[in-house]
A and B are shown apart, each in its own frame.
Chain A
């Protein structure tokens, strides 16, 4: 098959970007979207141009490194998938495909489709952990956790930190990212001692990084490659308010 790409090209954080158009021939439907970009880049290099910069690593949908708005949708048209797991069979011969980086003030463009997501690490630094040092942990089975509760904690913990939620949100909110981490830890006995201070610190860091507020439109849930539920955002808000009441 054959597709036309309109790709956002931007040399550096400060420079003006523009869309450039690439005609791509001989696309196999079995190619992943990134393999299609690999082929485009091979051609650009041989032709003396600079290849399209994009983040990627595991190409198995779990490292969270790949990104890109594809026809206005984070990670493209398939639900519950990352860009690296999107295959060209999801497109039709002759399609025009528009490819852009994540757009959010808190995620500045580094080059082309590559953005700086270090703000998400700083949200975790604010409290997204259990304060336990190596050594001295009690036997693992001394902490029984009801299976249903552990399973829900796991659902929240499947977040891969890709920032599709931020990119999908009209407010560029990171509420689903922060909410998922808080939900994972608040469901476990290990996470209880810091539950409220953690909620307060992570929400405040999210604000400090310039992410917007959540207005419950659920676009984040629709875009999340791991299909994480917006219910966790409600839990975050509840714990944030409790934190204020408790003075945590």
Chain B
């Protein structure tokens, strides 16, 4: 497989402008003759579907929820970055670009990241024009805050509900196009396979989740905006429905999957309360601006936190990283918390937690000031744990949050299957090995509003794909595969639920391919996953039938894909013999225990190619850094 990034030549500052000038255009009259399929309706999918329809294309948009407004982008709390420099604190496109490449630990593509920083300002303008109610100052202008340890205040926010407000903005733009008849919305409809015909993405096969009907849809191009795969770990901050199925089916139809082992573990989540736990809840990392993270100084200290005197507390982030303290990046904070718990100094049930203490901030600023800043988060914490964080320190623990890996795409956001595009969290391109806070919303909307509408037109105008007939052999064969898979799931008739397999897979991956990974652990996982998968197909029990609303069937199909995908993730983690960003290999660390990157051998994107029943083939896209010098991140 040849990986051509198609990055335009010339200075990085002018690549995107030049590319936009040079891309081929589809004439207005021709646009409506083009059918485009957009799968997913989160920030990336909804913004793309709306923008493409505004241009005049005929769009079919699909989502698995009952309404496009439910997509999990809605749960993002903290904010969205842009290089506006409204606070006059020295921000610029170049600085946002620099921070993002460095924050990604030098495993992203420079040209893509530069473009992301360039279009970031237009996103804020667009969202405000739609009526997104961002936070404002007394003078009526937009407010910014510093987020995730950034040295500038470039984060726009809407209380702790930024994702909700941005998604509702995109959703409303989408609903407007639905009303205009330019988008046909298919809610409660799940992509179960991609149709590739004559080497191009020709359409998709879906299952209507209400009636069970299997249907074929043809498009001149297909866009996957289906989010990340964090739920492979069972417990994550993702919505329960988030899954890898669309991206994984695309992989099996020829799209390369890039850097699957790059997963982000978020440090500030509410710890697991028991076996019944179905998902984890994130607490915005803005809490680390005022909260101090600590554990008891010695293992086995069972005293209640207020009974532990100052001298017996270890503020480990402040101790280990004096210059950044509690504001070190997510991956560093998460690993340190794990390290403390591994030493037996964790707190709460099972010892999987560290304190996030607001005592000093409340003394300094007063309870009212803390309530004004974090009231909704404190309220949520109290609801879930029945503990009052104004009196007792919060307990937090890292949880799987975001996946930087995804379908490999070129500069035009096209995968290795011509005509198949991937946007938002579903692609790999902008965050390298670690995503910075408030950058996911930025990337989803950049792809959907401002990048894909240009690059998809270029594909349509230069390649002139025909609309395939859904009666063609490839559609018929793909539908047969989908129908057979549904039949197989229903026919196993064993005694175990899909959830029990999902939990087992999740535990295995969390232990062996989570916050820290080792050769022997990954090899164990690679032995056990195929056995678990085999057991799944022998003893899973999927009740009900295929021709009705059947949530157990939907779920079993997603778990089956996770059982295959988890193996790919471990394979990638095993081959990457270095520590970078969210990928920490125990064998590759400095004397002080910090991550040790290997730029000489691993400064590349690992793009895995499906190879039938054999081991997936590794393709490498070398990464060159011309504008940001290789440097080791240091927060000491």
Kindly state whether residue A145 has any CB partner on chain B within 8 Å: yes
Q: Is the CB of B128 within 8 A of A140?
A: yes
Q: Is the CB of B131 within 8 A of A65?
A: no
Q: Kindly state the separation between the CA atoms of A53 and B279 in the bound complex, as whole angstroms.
A: 18
8 tightest A-B CB contacts, nearest first:
A144-B140, A129-B172, A137-B129, A125-B179, A137-B125, A140-B128, A154-B133, A134-B51
- Which residues of A line the B interface, CB within 8 A? 11-12, 28-32, 34-36, 38-39, 41-42, 44-46, 48-51, 53, 55-65, 78, 81, 85, 87, 89, 110-111, 114, 116-118, 120-121, 124-126, 128-135, 137-141, 143-147, 150, 153-154, 157-158, 160-161, 184-185, 188, 190-191
Q: Is the CB of A64 within 8 A of B69?
A: yes
Contact of B139 among A29, A144, A153 (CB under 8 A): A144
Kindly state whether residue B67 has any CB partner on chain A within 8 Å: yes
Given the interface pairs A46-B497, A147-B137, the reply to whether A60 lies near B172 with Cβ below 8 Å is no
Given the interface pairs A57-B240, A60-B75, A137-B122, the reply to whether A65 lies near B129 with Cβ below 8 Å is no
Given the interface pairs A118-B66, A118-B187, A131-B176, the reply to whether A87 lies near B140 with Cβ below 8 Å is no
- Kindly state the interface size class of chain B when it binds its partner: 35 or more
Given the interface pairs A128-B175, A134-B449, the reply to whether A42 lies near B497 with Cβ below 8 Å is yes
B-side contacts of A150, CB under 8 Å:
133-136, 140
Q: Is the CB of A184 within 8 A of B239?
A: no
Q: Is the CB of A57 within 8 A of B541?
A: no
A-side contacts of B176, CB under 8 Å:
125, 129, 131
Contact of B273 among A30, A111, A129, A133 (CB under 8 A): A30
23 A/B residue pairs, CB under 8 Å, sorted by A: A28-B273, A29-B386, A38-B276, A46-B541, A53-B551, A57-B70, A57-B241, A59-B239, A60-B380, A65-B65, A85-B384, A118-B67, A124-B172, A125-B175, A129-B175, A132-B129, A134-B126, A134-B449, A140-B125, A145-B136, A154-B133, A154-B159, A158-B164
Kindly state whether residue B287 has any CB partner on chain A within 8 Å: no
Q: Is the CB of A63 within 8 A of B168?
A: no
Closest to A30 in B: B273
Closest to B140 in A: A144
Given the interface pairs A58-B239, A130-B172, the reply to whether A141 lies near B142 with Cβ below 8 Å is yes
Q: Kindly state the separation between the CA atoms of A58 and B167 in the bound complex, as whole angstroms.
A: 14
Contact of B240 among A56, A120, A133 (CB under 8 A): A56
Quick one: which of B356-381 are within 8 Å of A by CB?
Answer: 380
Q: Kindly state the separation between the CA atoms of A60 and B399 in the bound complex, as whole angstroms.
A: 15
Contact of B125 among A30, A133, A138 (CB under 8 A): A138
- Which residues of B line the A interface, CB within 8 A? 47, 50-51, 54, 65-72, 74-75, 84, 86, 122, 124-131, 133-142, 158-159, 161, 164-165, 168, 171-173, 175-176, 178-179, 185, 187, 210, 239-241, 273-274, 276-279, 281-282, 380, 383-386, 449-450, 453, 495-497, 499-500, 541, 543-544, 548-549, 551-552
Q: A interface, by DSSP: helix, strand, loop or mixed? A: loop
Closest to A88 in B: B276
Q: Kindly state the separation between the CA atoms of A120 and B142 in the bound complex, as whole angstroms.
A: 31
- By CB atoms of chain B within 10 A, which of A44, A62, A116 has the most? A62
Residue pairs across A and B with CB atoms within 8 Å: the count is 215
Q: Kindly state the separation between the CA atoms of A188 and B136 in the bound complex, as whole angstroms.
A: 13
Q: Is the CB of A45 within 8 A of B497?
A: yes
Given the interface pairs A110-B549, A132-B130, A184-B133, the reply to whether A28 lies near B279 with Cβ below 8 Å is no
Q: Is the CB of A87 within 8 A of B544?
A: no
Q: Is the CB of B541 within 8 A of A59?
A: no
Q: Is the CB of A64 within 8 A of B70?
A: yes
Contact of B128 among A63, A81, A137, A158 (CB under 8 A): A137
B131 to chain A, nearest CB (A): 5
Q: Kindly state the separation between the CA atoms of A193 and B463 in the bound complex, as whole angstroms.
A: 41
Q: Is the CB of B549 within 8 A of A53?
A: yes
Closest to B386 in A: A89
Q: Kindly state the separation between the CA atoms of A128 and B71 in the bound complex, as whole angstroms.
A: 19
Closest to B51 in A: A134
Q: Kindly state the separation between the CA atoms of A63 and B74 in the bound complex, as whole angstroms.
A: 6
Given the interface pairs A50-B544, A57-B240, A89-B386, the reply to whether A65 lies near B66 with Cβ below 8 Å is yes
A148 to chain B, nearest CB (A): 10
A-side contacts of B135, CB under 8 Å:
150
Given the interface pairs A133-B54, A134-B126, A144-B140, the reply to whether A28 lies near B69 with Cβ below 8 Å is no
Q: Is the CB of A62 within 8 A of B66?
A: no
Q: Kindly state the separation between the CA atoms of A146 and B140 in the bound complex, as whole angstroms.
A: 4
Q: Kindly state the separation between the CA atoms of A63 and B239 in the bound complex, as whole angstroms.
A: 9
Closest to B176 in A: A129
Q: Kindly state the separation between the CA atoms of A58 and B279 in the bound complex, as whole angstroms.
A: 9
Q: Is the CB of A48 within 8 A of B543?
A: yes
Q: Kindly state the separation between the CA atoms of A235 and B386 in the bound complex, as whole angstroms.
A: 37
Given the interface pairs A121-B175, A134-B50, A190-B128, the reply to whether A58 lies near B72 with Cβ below 8 Å is yes
